[in-house]
Amino acid sequence: MPLHDTSYQHWHGIHLGLWGRRWVIARHGLGACLQIKGMRQLVVLCWAAGLAMTGLLFLVGQLLVADSAVVQWLSNLNPILQASAQLLTTWLEQHPEISVRTTQDLLLYYFATYLMRVGIFALGMTIPLLITRDLARNAIIIYASKAVSRGDYLLGKFAAASGLIALTWLGPVCTAWFLGNLLAPDWRFFWHSRAALGHVLLFGLGSMSILSLLALGVSAVSAKEKSTPAFWYLWWIIGGLVGPIAAQTRPWLQHLSFNYNLDQLALGVFRLGTDLKLAQDNIPVVGDLLRNINPRTMAALNSPALGGASLALFLMLALAAGIIAWRVKPE
């Protein structure tokens, strides 16, 4: 016999608002993803990479200021290094805004695009947890019978996927930017590198939304938990392999890879060609060194295939939305 009252009790409390209920779905989705041990390890790895990036930005920042601790330390080591460092900083100090902007844009571009691959890998691990399992266990009908709509459910799942990308990608990159500038020898570094942050946020948030929606679409393709991640990874890997091969004969085939399209988007957002041109024109010696960059690389940096990438991504998103609309129904 129970020691307490087990009869039915009425409840007279205040209900959560709509956003509160959406947040519950998102939090639950993200929590389920983080229950995977490999995912937790991946998140730790990403943040460790973010800290490493902070260290790199700190070192670069030190090199850009003449009286910084690193330059002083290098000067004390060797007279030749002292002369080189002074020469370098003198050139760079002539246009600190261009030096800082170009350096951080370049570093954060590479960091963001490489870490994006980790985010894509992480999404692949958690794709079954987004919609696939709910389809397999008829959980959609449970959600649909509660005080949330199909749109609320999808918004919650979208937020969960975005949260995962934020944890593995956008968070470490933005933190690296912030800490790197916080540890820089001059507060003006924040101001000079504002464009880099803007680029990171623009590209990061855009790609996060695109990848989240694509992941939801793939997650809704099947109710089999092994099929959907396999589909995601195959799409990613085959797209990555086909792209370089097809580039010579049928360049449009490259756009079948969402990774390639996002890379083009990154080039369009960061506009590295403009940064390098500015450095070439305004910073002595260093600018001359930058002129030695491969012309094909410069051409690729200057004119990314934005039109094709945008169209391909739009079609992929439309397909994903169609799959979601078709599959995620309580009936």
Partner 1 sequence: MATVHDRSRKPVRSLPQEPRESLTVAGLLSQALRDKCGARRSNTATGLLGTYGIGLPNSESALNITMEMAPQMVIETEGLSKVYGRQRALDGVTVQVAPGAIGLLGPNGAGKSTFMKCLLELAPITSGSARVLGREVGREGREIRKRVGYTPEQDCHIPGMVGCEYVTYCAQLSGLPFQAARRRAHEMLDFVGMGQERYRKADTYSTGMKQRLKLAQAIVHDPELVFLDEPTNGLDPKGQVQILELIASLWRTYGITVVLSSHLLQNVDRICEQIIIIARGRLLVHDTLENLKARRRGAAEVVIASRHQELQAACARRQWPCEVLPNGHLKIEHQAASLNPLLQLLHELALAPLEIIPSPNALEETFVQALEMSHAAA
Q: Nearest 5 degrees, angle CA 124-CA 248-CA 118?
A: 20
Stretch that binds partner 1, among 140-148, 158-166, 178-186, 281-289 (CB under 8 A): 140-148
Q: Tell me 256's DSSP state.
A: G
Print the binding letters for residues 81-110 with partner 1: x by CB under 8 A, - otherwise. Answer: ------------------------------
Alpha-carbon span 283 to 302, nearest angstrom: 19
Shorter beta-carbon distance to partner 1: residue 129 or 313? 129
Among 41, 44, 83, 146, binds partner 1 (CB under 8 A): 146
Residues in the interface with partner 1 (CB under 8 A) total 40
Among 1, 8, 248, 294, binds partner 1 (CB under 8 A): 8
Alpha-carbon span 151 to 323, nearest angstrom: 14
The CB-of-275 to partner 1 minimum distance in angstroms stands at 46
Q: Kindly tell me the burial class for residue 115, based on how many C-beta atoms sit within 10 Å of its own C-beta (0-12, 13-18, 19 or more).
A: buried
Q: What is the DSSP string of 49-78?
A: HHHHHHHHHHHHHHHTSTTSHHHHHHHHH-
Shorter beta-carbon distance to partner 1: residue 37 or 296? 37
Is residue 331 a contact point for partner 1 (CB under 8 A)? yes
Is residue 147 a contact point for partner 1 (CB under 8 A)? yes
Shorter beta-carbon distance to partner 1: residue 15 or 296? 15
Shorter beta-carbon distance to partner 1: residue 72 or 138? 138
Shorter beta-carbon distance to partner 1: residue 221 or 269? 221
Among 75, 96, 133, 317, binds partner 1 (CB under 8 A): 133
Shorter beta-carbon distance to partner 1: residue 156 or 304? 156
Is residue 25 a contact point for partner 1 (CB under 8 A)? yes
Chain centroid offset of residue 331 CA: 35
Q: What is the DSSP string of 156-167?
A: HHHHHHHHHHII
Task: Choose among 238, 286, 231, 234: nearest CA to 260.
Answer: 238
Shorter beta-carbon distance to partner 1: residue 7 or 248? 7
Is residue 32 a contact point for partner 1 (CB under 8 A)? yes
The CB-of-45 to partner 1 minimum distance in angstroms stands at 24
Alpha-carbon span 293 to 278, nearest angstrom: 14
Residues 6+ apart with CB under 8 A from 171: 46, 47, 50
Alpha-carbon span 228 to 128, nearest angstrom: 6
Among 48, 69, 136, 241, binds partner 1 (CB under 8 A): 136
Residues 94/283, Cβ–Cβ less than 8 Å: yes
Strand, helix or coil at 138? coil
Binding site for partner 1 (CB under 8 A): 2, 4, 6-11, 13-18, 20-21, 24-25, 28, 32, 35, 129, 133-134, 136-139, 141-149, 152, 330-331
